[in-house]
Amino acid sequence: MDRERLEGFGFLAAFAACIPAANWLIGNVGTTCVPDGPCLIPVAPGITAPSGVLMIGLALVLRDMTQRRLGLGWAVAAIVGGAVLSILVAPPALVVASGAAFLLSELADFAVYTPLQRRRLILAVLASSTVGLVIDSAVFLYLAFGNLDYFAGQVIGKAWMVVIAVPVIWWLRQRDRRLGIQPA
C-alpha cells in the first residue's frame, strides 16, 4: 500500500474515533457538568461549551484529509458511516441531534471543501470547516436542547481545533509538493 493511501486510512480511522470520543466527552469530561445536560469546558474567557466540541472540530478537518488522500467515494462513505456511528454511540437523548448535526455539517463541509481543495488547500480547510462547525453547532444545540445557548462556545471550541490543525495541514501540503504527491 502506498504512503498516501496509508495516511488516508489513518485519517479515516482518526475521523471515526472522533465520533465516540465526542459523545463520551460531552457526558463525562468538563469543568462543570449540568444535571441532565452536557459537561462544559471553557473555550474563551467567560464562554463555555459542551466538551465534545473539540472532537467535532477535529473531525471536520480529518474528513477533509481523508478526502484528500482517498478520494470522493471514501469521503462520502466516511460521512454516511460517521452519521450512523454518531447515532449508534450517542446517548439516547441525543441520538437525533447527534446524527442530524453530524450528517448535515459534514455534507456542508464536503460541498465547500471539494471545489477549493486542489488549488487552495488551507483556504479549503478553513472555509469548509467554518461552514461545517456553524451548521453542526446550530443543528445539534437546537435539536438536543431546544435553544442555542451554547452556540458561541460551540463555534469557538470547534474553531480552536481547526486553527490548531492548520500548521499540520500546511506541513502536509509542503511535503506533498516536495514529494510530488497529488490529491486523490
Taking only the tens place, the pLDDT of each residue in 50-59 is 898 999 999 9
Task: Burial-class residue 112 by CB neighbours within 10 Å (0-12, 13-18, 19+).
Answer: buried
**Nearest residue to 56 via CA among 102, 7, 10:** 102
pLDDT digits (tens, 9 = 90+) for 92-149: 878 899 899 989 999 999 999 999 998 899 999 999 999 999 999 999 989 988 999 8
- Whether 184 maps to a domain, the answer reads no
Q: For residue 1, name the pLDDT band (cuts at 50, 70, 90).
A: low
- Whether 29 maps to a domain, the answer reads yes
Number of domains in the chain: 1
Range of the domain at 111: 3-179
- Whether 12 maps to a domain, the answer reads yes
With the C-alpha atoms ordered 21, 163, 182, 107, is the resulting torsion angle positive or negative? Answer: positive
Contact, 17 vs 59, CB < 8 A? no
Neighbours of 38 (CB within 10 A): 24
- Whether 23 maps to a domain, the answer reads yes
Instruction: Return the CATH number at 173.
Output: 1.10.1760
Phi–psi pair at 172, nearest 5 degrees:
-60, -45
Residue with cell 437546537: 142
**pTM for the whole structure:** 0.90
Give the pLDDT of residue 181.
84
For residue 41, give the H/E element and its range. strand 39-44
Residue 14 is placed in which grid cell?
Answer: 482518526
- Whether 87 maps to a domain, the answer reads yes
- Whether 34 maps to a domain, the answer reads yes
**Nearest residue to 131 via CA among 160, 97, 105:** 105
